[in-house]
Structure 1
Amino acid sequence: MERRSFLAGLCMVVPSLSFAAPRLQFSSIDGGQIDFDAWQGRPVLVVNTASRCAFTKQYDALQALYDRYRARGLVVLAVPSQDFRQELGDNAAVKEFCELNFNLDMPMTEITSVKGPQAHPFYAWVRQETGFVPEWNFNKVLIDPDGAVAATWRSRVRPLSGEITKKIEAMLPA
């Protein structure tokens, strides 16, 4: 299958979805929109998260990964999801939980669907491009600086594993 750039070809990739603009946006947990266009030319690690999961402790490693590489351009985007019934009841509770327990300052979306017919367009695009669908919380999708899916990982792969950091380092300036 030909790889298509997510940023450049979303409307072509998912024509049945309607967007206000031909770019991808998530609703931010802080209010407003998170616009992928702002990250063009940078690697982005997108992780579906949940507050009441055995993998929730990965938030610490995600923040450490973000802290280690953000000055060189890495973006880590947390996408809280209730698809696996382990997220708190509302966005305010998720935000407070993450700030108090993990001191997160990485970008975070509102509670968002990541699978099935209600999946956010990002996850629909990843599924179409790669066949990858989150099977549980803390699945990871790495988008390269050109906007293509570079790699995907399941929950058990830790954010600071060599498997992930080597891919990221290869995309960052020295």
Structure 2
Amino acid sequence: MRAIVLSTVLFFGGAAVAGCPEYLNHDLRKLHSQELINLCEMSPGQPLLIVNTASHCGYTKQFKGLQELNDQYRDQGLRVVGFASDDFRQEANNEEEAANVCYVNYGVTFTMFAPTHVRGDDANPVFRELAIQTEAPSWNFNKYVVDSTGKVVMHFDSSTSPDSPALKKAIESVL
């Protein structure tokens, strides 16, 4: 059995934030921007819905439902975050196009990260840890419900729509 250390104390802005797992303590570039976002700073001690996305996938229309989840649960503390990826060869050819799909076509307001690897040896630190705790995504639009300590409480594959009662129940269990 492998032990995983999930809790650390981070210092920024002069304040300590307890409970933010190391795998979330990385500066990641926002989609079609030079802005860097650290999930520990963005959402310390808050539950997350982490999704790997692609702009030209049969599941791309799930952006609409993910935005609805964001709208429904944001005031209760949930942070929805999307990681654009071309690991399944269905991402836009450039970030401007990917951003247009997200922000213009689907009205996404939740945080979207620039294209990154989400599986294999090149996976970013977030998805490396998600794969350890559950499994790596086998396609676009896998959903990981993560509690405020960084533990994955449930993984859903691409075929689970954002309006799924099971997904909503998992989200509500971490709020």
Higher RCO (Cα < 8 Å, 6 or more apart): 1
Instruction: From 25, 29, 32, give the equivalent of 2:27.
Output: 25
After TM superposition, give the deviation of residue 40 of structure 1 in Å.
2.0
- Give yes or no for the alignment of 1:155 onto 2:155: no
The secondary structure found in structure 2 opposite 1:63 is helix
Aligned equivalents of 1:129 and 1:104: distance in 2? Answer: 28
Match of 2:115 in 1: 111
Q: Secondary structure at the match of 2:169?
A: helix
Q: Which amino acid aligns with 2:136?
A: V
CA distance in 2, matches of 1:150, 1:26: 23
Q: How does 1:135-154 map to 2 (within 5 A)?
A: 135-154=138-157
Aligned-pair identity in percent equals 34
Partner of 2:6: 5
Name the CA distance, whole Å, in 2 between partners of 1:8 and 1:51.
Answer: 29
* Larger proportion of strand: 2
CA-CA distance at 1:150 after TM superposition: 1.4
In structure 2, how many angstroms separate the alpha carbons of the residues matched to 1:74 and 1:120? 22
CA distance in 2, matches of 1:106, 1:9: 22
SS of residue in 2 equivalent to 1:108: strand
Runs of 4+ in 1 over 2 A off after TM superposition: 1-4, 6-10
Measure the CA separation in 1 of the matches of 2:144 and 2:116: 15
Select the structure that is richer in helix.
Answer: 1
Partner residue of 1:72 out of 72, 76, 80 = 76
Distance in 1 (alpha carbons) for counterparts of 2:37 and 2:101: 20
Q: Report the TM-score when normalising by structure 2.
A: 0.85
Partner Cα distance (2:26, 2:49) in 1: 15
Q: Deviations over 1:50-71 (max 9, x none)?
A: 1111001100000000000111
- Give the partner amino acid of 2:76: R
Q: Which residue of 1 aligns with 2:101?
A: 97
Report the Cα distance in structure 2 between the residues aligned to 1:34 and 1:73, rounded to whole angstroms. 18
Number of paired residues? 160
Match of residue 92 from structure 2: 88
Q: Which residue among 151, 155, 164 is the counterpart of 2:167?
A: 164
* Alpha-carbon distance in structure 2 between the residues aligned to 1:3 and 1:159: 29
The answer on whether the counterparts of 2:146 and 2:174 sit within 8 Å (CA) in structure 1 is no
**TM-score normalized by the length of structure 1:** 0.85
Distance in 1, matches of 2:6 and 2:99, equals: 31
Offset of residue 24 of structure 1: 2.5
